[in-house]
Copies of this chain bind each other. A is one copy, B any other.
Amino acid sequence: MSLLNKVLQGDVLAAAKLIRGLEDDLPGAVAELKDLYLHTGKAHIVGVSGAPGAGKSTLLGCLIGAFRKRNFKLGVVAVDPTSPLSGGAILGDRLRMQKHGEDKDVFIRSLASRGWKGGLSRATVNTVHVLDAMGKNVIFVEAVGSGQGETDFARLADTSVVVMVPGMGDDIQTIKAGIMEVADIFVINKADREGAESLKMSLETMLEMNPCGREDWKPEILLTTATEDKGIEELTEVLLRHQLFLAHSGEIEKRRRRRAELELTMAVEDALRRHLATVDGCYLEKLVDELAARKTDPNTAARKVIKLPPTSPFRKGR
């Protein structure tokens, strides 16, 4: 049976092999992706972002339990390099996830250990595709909050959850406008700490001031204490409700189109990078020498390197 067929049947070893191959950019894996992609788009993708220490991993551990009780097949992609899910872990935190380690319907994959550069990578998107093709119903993507990248992660997700903590500087001044626009659900974790209610009120005020054009879904604000499993059922219900909302309102189509746009952009950049890798190094050296000696100019040299159709690059302005 082909690797792809094994993945489509939910084979964990085959999936791990394919993900590894995609990370390593092996031609065989890239070729498999082409067919695999056509089998994706079924899973509900939930982005979970927040600052390091917000308790995202503990929260995810609880959510996995809640969704497994409802018989969902789950995937988790951990992109946060500080996440206990990502390997560089505190043992106690790892153990909290471990209970799902034996469960064949939970597939946890960390990407952070292989050199995290910040932002959304193609490896992350491709890992989500593999989990999707495996037949997972819900895929959680755990990402560290870091400005611009956060918005990209939200573009990848169907539902975007932002996790905050009272008294961690997560106050109104530090909440980036981008986050307000992309978050579907705010979770105030460690809600037993002082300041949880006032953070909630601040968020509510801010959401009223920035309705962000959403008429149908008002972002929910939930209080949880993941270490005590508190608020998890409520969060699970809201996640399911948001999934229904997306399906019934037609919003899911918009989000999947937005994701396709993002992927096309990433694929174009990737194709260029791959193309440049195939250009003869000596030829590049020669071009640089010619530039340094002012025998040619950068635009002419660039056109030689990427050989775009001659009519296109300089016919139009911006």
Q: Which residues of A contact B (CB under 8 A)?
A: 24-27, 30-31, 33-35, 37-41, 253, 256-257, 259-261, 263-264, 266-268, 270-272, 274-279, 284, 287-289, 291-292, 294-295, 297-303, 305-309, 311-318
Contact = CB atoms under 8 A, between A and B. Distances in A.
Given A253-B292, A288-B260, A270 B302 contact: yes
Contact of A274 (B37, B271, B288, B316): B316
Contact of A271 (B271, B284, B313): B313
Contacts of A39: 294
A290 to B, nearest CB: 8
A183 to B, nearest CB: 23
A275 B37 contact: no
Given A275-B313, A278-B316, A305 B268 contact: yes
Nearest to A303: B271
A257 to B, nearest CB: 5
Given A39-B294, A268-B305, A278-B311, 15 more contacts: A30-B299, A37-B297, A38-B294, A38-B295, A256-B292, A257-B288, A257-B289, A260-B288, A260-B289, A260-B291, A260-B292, A272-B272, A274-B314, A277-B316, A278-B316
A315 B271 contact: no
A261 to B, nearest CB: 5
* Copies of this protein, total: 2
A311 B275 CA distance: 9
Chain A contact residues, majority secondary structure = helix
B25 A317 contact: yes
Contact of A264 (B35, B267, B301): B301
A307 B268 CA distance: 10
Given A38-B297, A292-B260, A308 B309 contact: no
16 contacts: A24-B317, A31-B314, A33-B299, A34-B297, A38-B297, A40-B294, A257-B288, A260-B298, A267-B299, A267-B301, A271-B302, A271-B313, A274-B313, A274-B316, A279-B312, A307-B308
Given A288-B264, A294-B40, A305-B264, A312 B275 contact: yes
Contacts of A270: 299, 302
B307 A309 contact: yes
Q: Nearest 10 pairs between A and B by C-beta?
A: A267-B302, A260-B291, A267-B298, A37-B297, A260-B292, A263-B298, A268-B302, A278-B312, A271-B302, A257-B292
B287 A264 contact: yes
A260 B39 CA distance: 45
